[in-house]
Amino acid sequence: MEKEQASYLWLSEQSNIDVSTRSIISPEFPHGKIALDTLPIYTIGGTEFYVEAYSRSFIEKERPQNHFAAWEFQYKGSHYEFLYHPGDKTPAIDVLPSNECILVQIPPFVQLDPQRMAEKYQLSIAAIQGKSDFEVMVDQQAFKQRMQGHLPTLDILGQTFEINLAQGQLSSTNDKGEINLQDIQELYDSSQQCYVIPYDLMAKAYHPLKESETDQLPAHIQVITFPKEIVLDRVGWNIQHGYRPQEGLMEIDYHLHFKAGNGTWQELLTIWKNRVDDLPFNVEKKRQRPTLKTPSFRKKRGIH
């Protein structure tokens, strides 16, 4: 007897397609579910796609298992642009001959589905009219402040640190404490996408772990967690690596203040013992311009 195939298809971090009922299920939706047939339709290269504004996805009408998201496109402000392969009905990959692909331009989601864009960002439809996706999706006050030189901050157990990627450090705003980011590279946990470090409550600084402390930490040392640099200061990271300041901001919940989480002794010990193999990037990669990807950083430890 053949095993029954699951009717759910992954769409995004927050949503799935229920093929059996032709609907999308997501905790983000006001009623938890949206029928595909109620979504707007946009035609790309002769094929009809449903427009799902919450995940900014396009779902093929006749074959819902074929879908792709806007983070695969280039955002041009007034529209999105990407190379499309009509045969595969997907954005083209680099290995495909260019003569098999067509350049596609797609309107912003505030035009494709203003109702759900307004709903998602808790605005009226009138409030988003005439605005770009970037203006609706990204905290404009936070972005403006950052572009004016205001540095993001990280709260570590009640102590506020400025995140200064240009100097490679976190600096206390009202004390002499600081954390040199180069010193903690080996304590990055790629599985949780965060640093797990011992923090000195008295010195208000990173405490380098000693062999003699691998059984028990001193009382004034606490394990904390916080995100990597690209999350702590996406605008600063973009500028530092040659990208546009606004690159990737629509894919994250952009803000200027973070709060460190609490780590465990066991987490720290595991990372410390395996620190050579768990670097966020090796020496060779440091010499290259990082490839810009757009993973989701929501709901990771140390992000509030």
Q: What is the spatial distance between Cα 114 and Cα 161, in angstroms, rounded to a whole number? A: 39
pLDDT at 288 exceeding the cut of 70:
no
Contact predicate 236/154, CB 8 Å: no
Q: Which of 284, 230, 217 is nearest to 258 (CA)?
A: 230
Residue 100 pLDDT class (50, 70, 90 cuts) = confident
**How far apart, in whole angstroms, are the C-alpha atoms of residue 165 and residue 237?**
7
Q: Are 3 and 16 in contact (CB under 8 A)?
A: no
| Residue extents of the structural domains in the chain | 8-130, 140-286
**Each residue of 45-96: pLDDT tens digit?**
999 999 999 999 999 999 999 999 999 999 999 999 999 999 999 998 765 5
> What burial class does residue 279 get, using C-beta atoms within 10 Å of its C-beta: 0-12 exposed, 13-18 middle, 19+ buried?
middle
Give the pLDDT confidence of 145-171 residue by residue, as tens digits.
999 999 999 999 999 999 999 999 999
d(C-alpha 95, C-alpha 199), whole Å: 47
Q: How far apart are CA 221 and CA 203, in angstroms?
A: 10
From CA 164, how far away is CA 151, in angstroms rounded? 7
- To the nearest 10°, report the CA torsion of 145, 148, 154, 158: -80
8 A C-beta contact, residue 25 and residue 16:
yes
Q: How is residue 15 annotated by DSSP?
A: -
Residue spans of alpha helices (H) in 138-264: 140-147, 229-232, 234-240
List, for residues 114-137, the tens digit of each pLDDT value: 999 999 999 999 999 999 999 999
DSSP 291: P
| pTM for this model (two decimals) | 0.80
CA distance 19 to 25: 11
Other beta carbons within 10 angstroms of residue 58's beta carbon come to: 27
- Triad 18, 253, 163: Cα angle to 5°: 150
For residue range 182-214, what is the model confidence (pLDDT) as tens digits? 999 999 998 889 999 999 999 999 998 877 766
